[in-house]
Amino acid sequence: MLLADKVVVVTGGAGFLGKQFCAAVAEQGGIAVVADIDAEAAARVAEEIVSAYPGHAEAAALDITSHASVSALIAELMEKHGRIDAVVNNAYPRNRNYGRKLEDVTYEDFCDNVDSHLGGYFLMAQQFGLAFRRQGGGNIINMASIYGVMAPRFEVYADTPMTMPVEYAAIKSAVVQLTRYFAQYFKGDGIRVNCLSPGGILDEQPEAFLQRYKTYCNSKGMLDSRDVNGSLLFLLSDASRYVTGQNLIVDDGFSL
């Protein structure tokens, strides 16, 4: 068991990657806190995990863009468990216009999406970082993306409605740098801060896109949502005890 009895908060825990992360934490003996703005979905995910791993998941309502909501979650978990071992900054807030091509992105939408996603990741890392400092240590993992470190390969999206949103590049590159900032700031407080950058994850994308994407990869191409679990568990566990301020890229070589 890599995470025996560790309390691990996963924001966006009811989402596509989040629910796999929560199940992986529970499987390794941790207590996964499925923290999501969609409280009903979080309850469903927690219930499913608990049926396989009794006592190893619980749901929490959380809005990462609300100081009151973040503080309330920290207080509630401290009261219940006495400590919080780790937080995975994994929620994916975006407004209804998110994902448009560059020409169609308004100033307001750009700012709104950067606000909620990057601002929310900052708020979570700040508040959990301070709580971790008070308790004498903790572990923060920020979900970034290959598009935080490489220029987009727009050619893979040709003839599909998909694109790599300009907000995403701004947000995820900033998340990588925030990770270094927080790791440096909390040095000496027993706090590690790293980020995890997956490449594309299979989710019913058009076949032509998948084929083009795969030509840049080592073997598999787009990954399954479970393929990122091993790297997350490494960063959460003591196996990575002396790793801090790093960005672990899991993309089957796409960004090389």
Ligand X SMILES: NC(=O)c1ccc[n+]([C@@H]2O[C@H](COP(=O)([O-])OP(=O)(O)OC[C@H]3O[C@@H](n4cnc5c(N)ncnc54)[C@H](O)[C@@H]3O)[C@@H](O)[C@H]2O)c1
Q: How far is the CB of 78 from ligand X (least distance, A)?
A: 19
44/81 with CB nearer ligand X = 44
Q: Does 145 bind ligand X (CB under 6 A)?
A: yes
145/240 with CB nearer ligand X = 145
Member of 14, 141, 156, 236 binding ligand X (CB under 6 A): 14
Q: Catalytic: 168?
A: yes
Q: Does 148 bind ligand X (CB under 6 A)?
A: no
Q: Which position's Cβ is nearest ligand X?
A: 15
Determine the interface stretch with ligand X among 8-16, 95-103, 182-190, 240-248 (rule: CB under 6 A): 8-16
Total binding residues toward ligand X, as defined by CB under 6 A: 24
Q: How far is the CB of 137 from ligand X (least distance, A)?
A: 24
Site mask for ligand X (CB under 6 A), range 90-109, x = bound: xxxx----------------
Q: How far is the CB of 253 from ligand X (least distance, A)?
A: 15
56/117 with CB nearer ligand X = 117
DSSP string, the chain: --STT-EEEEETTTSHHHHHHHHHHHHTT-EEEEEES-HHHHHHHHHHHHHHSTTSEEEEE--TT-HHHHHHHHHHHHHHHS---EEEE------TTTT--GGG--HHHHHHHHHHHHHHHHHHHHHHHHHHHHHT-EEEEEE--GGGTS---GGGGTTSS----HHHHHHHHHHHHHHHHHHHHTTTTTEEEEEEEE--B-SS--HHHHHHHHTTSSSS-SBPGGGGHHHHHHHHSGGGTT--S-EEEESTTTT-
Chain positions 26 to 65 lying near ligand X, rule: CB under 6 A, are: 36-38, 62-65
Catalytic residue among 98, 157, 168, 213: 168
Rule CB under 6 A: which residues touch ligand X?
11-12, 14-18, 36-38, 62-65, 90-93, 120, 143, 145, 198, 200-201
Instruction: Cite the active site residues.
Output: 168
